[in-house]
Structure 1
Amino acid sequence: MFRKILTIAIGCISFSVFSLSAEVAIIVNPSVADNLDRKQISRIFMGKDKAFPSGSDVIPFNLNEGSGVRNEFEKMVIQRSPAQINAYWGKYVFTGKGTPPDQLKSEADVIAKVKSSPNAIGYIDAKNVTPDVKVIATF
């Protein structure tokens, strides 16, 4: 009996921890016709690619550091820790190769930027997607 209760308890704890992570939606303006994979999205947010595959310029927007959605995005898409990303950008900025994406305070701000700019790309929690933007990938 104790083993059965313990198994159920562990299952509940595992489910609770699993359900805390958000599904991240990568969003663009509805006018964007390009599709991007994880690697292309990572390259855009790490300053390595400055255009969509079609050739039009791209402007990435991050959520503020410490945001749960940003942490999930960095883990799933960039596949680096926040410390690794900060070190990367420190070097990138110091050598004059570029600057990190602008940070926005909220998911509503990301949606507003993407909605108003055909060149913007951002990410939000998938449950907060509105008809004003186009989802090109989820992670």
Structure 2
Amino acid sequence: MRRPTMRLPVSVRCLLAALLLAGSCRAEVVVIVSARNPVKALSGEQASDLFLGKAAEFPNGLHAVPIDQSEGSPVRDVFYLKSSGKAPAQMKAYWAHMLFTGRGQPPVESGDSAAIKRLVADNPNLVGYIDRSALDASVRAVLAIH
């Protein structure tokens, strides 16, 4: 006799996946800008708003262009989980909705921490996030994601 299987709602499955992901990734994520960018700090809400397409400028009015790590990157997953409370599947659904309604475009995916750091260092308008271990003098950490 087969035992009935219980299917959890998508929101519960996403939450469980997010909790497992957060516990398995020990990296500390930092939001970065170019060392030539005058911005010294961002709040968690400001960073989240930039990466969710809710804001297009740094607090000082300078145009901001967020760039994402590649989909599936543990740093990316931890960043979104801790900055916006959204698991990878929820982020995918969020951007599908934003694209469908014409209200926004997701940040361009630009590789891993090393690639993001190189791009951000060369352009004061870019904002990205990397593993803290990749931080150097070419970029400035404006927010630590705990």
**TM-score scaled by structure 1?**
0.83
Distance 1:44 1:63, change over 3 A: same
Higher helix content, 1 or 2: 1
Match of 2:38 in 1: 33
Which position in structure 2 is the counterpart of 1:57?
A: 63
- Mapped pair 1:23 → 2:28: yes
Distance 2:94 2:25 in 1: 28
Q: In the aligned structure 2, how far is the partner of 1:42 from the partner of 1:89? A: 14
Do the aligned residues in 1 keep the contact of 2:25 with 2:78 (CA within 8 Å)? Answer: no
Q: Which position in structure 1 is the counterpart of 2:107?
A: 101
Unaligned runs of 5+ in 2: 1-21
CA RMSD of aligned residues (A): 1.5
Letter of the aligned partner of 1:45 in structure 2?
F
Identity of aligned residues (%): 35
Residue identity opposite 1:32 in structure 2:
N
What letter corresponds to residue 122 of structure 1 in structure 2?
Answer: G
Which one has a bigger Cα radius of gyration?
A: 1
Query: Aligned AA for 2:37?
Result: V
- Per-residue CA deviations over 1:13-54 (Å, capped at 9, x if unaligned) read xxxx96842100111011222221001100000000000011
Q: Within 1, Cα distance between the matches of 2:87 and 2:23?
A: 19
The answer to whether the 8 Å contact 2:25/2:74 transfers is no
Structure 1 stretches of at least 4 aligned residues deviating more than 3 Å after TM superposition: 17-20
Q: Supply the distance in 2 between the matched residues of 1:80 and 1:20 (Cα, whole angstroms).
A: 16
Deviation at 1:107, TM superposition (A): 1.3
